[in-house]
Chains A and B, each alone.
Chain A
Amino acid sequence: MMRKLQLVLIFFLFLLGCTRKEPTVASRFQLLNPSETNVDFINRLSEKQVDIIEYAYYYNGGGVAAGDINNDGLIDIFFTANENKNKLFLNQGNFVFKDVSAAAGIEGTGDWSTGVTMADVNNDGNLDIYVSNVGGYKGLQGANELFINNGDGTFTESAKAYGLDFIGFSTQAVFFDYDRDGDLDMYLLNHSVHSVRSYGPATLRHESDARAGDRLYRNNLKEGEKRFTDVTSEAGIFNSQIGYGLGVVVGDVNDDMWPDIYVSNDFHENDYLYINQGDGTFSEQLEKRIGHTSRYAMGNAMGDLNGDNLPDIITLDMLPDDPEILQKSASEDRQEVSDIKKESGYADQYVRNAFQLNRGNGHFSEIAQLAGISATDWSWSPTIADLDNDGKNELYITNGIFKRPNDLDYIQYMGNLSQMRYSATASDSINRKLIDKMPTLKVSNYTFKSSGKYKYKNVSKDWGLAEPSYSNGAVAADLNNDGKLDLIVNNVNQQAFIYKNKGSGDAGNFLQVELRGKKSNYYGIGAKVSVYTNGHVQTQEIISTTGFQSSVPPMAHFGLGNKSKVDSIRVQWPTGKYQTLKPKGLNKKLIILEKQQGEIIQPTVRIQADTSENVVFEPVYQHIENNFKDNSREYLIPYKLSAEGPASAVGDVNGDGLDDIFFGGGKYQPGKIYLQQKDGSFLEKKQKWTTEHAIFEDVSAELFDANGDKYLDLIVISGGNEESVGSTNLQDRLYINDGKGNFTLAKDALPHGNHNGSVSKAHDIDGDGDMDLFIGNRSVPGNYGLPADQFILVNDGKGIFSIAFREKLGMVTDAAWADIDGDDKVELIVVGDWMPVTILESRNQTFAIRKGVKGLEDTFGWWKSLAIADVNGDGLPDIIAGNVGENMKMIPTKEKPVELYLADFDKNGKIDPVIFYHKQGKLIPLASKDLLAKQMPFLNKKFNSYLQYATVGRPQDLFADEAIKNSKKLYANTFKTSMYINAPSGTFSFESMPEEVQFSSVNAIFVDENYAAGTIWIGGNFFDNSVDLGRSDAQSQIRLTKTPNGYVADNFKSNTIASIRNLQIIVVSGKAYLILVKNNGKPEFIPIE
Chain B
Amino acid sequence: MDLDALAGCLSSSACLVTQTTSGLIIGMLLFLVAVGLTLIFGVLKVVNFSHGAFYMFGAYFAMTAYQLTGSFALAMLAGAAGTAILGLIFERVFMSRVYGADVLMQLLVCYAFVLIFDDVVRIIWGPEFKSMGMPSAFQVMPLFIAGGVVPPYYLLLIGVALVAAIVLGAGLSRTRIGKVIRAAAHNPGMVSALGINTGLIYGGVFALGGMLAGLAGALAAPVRSLTPGMGFSVLIESFIVTVIGGMGSILGALIGALLLGLIRSFGSLGFPLFTEGLMYLFMVIVLVSKPTGLFGKEAA
A and B interact physically: no
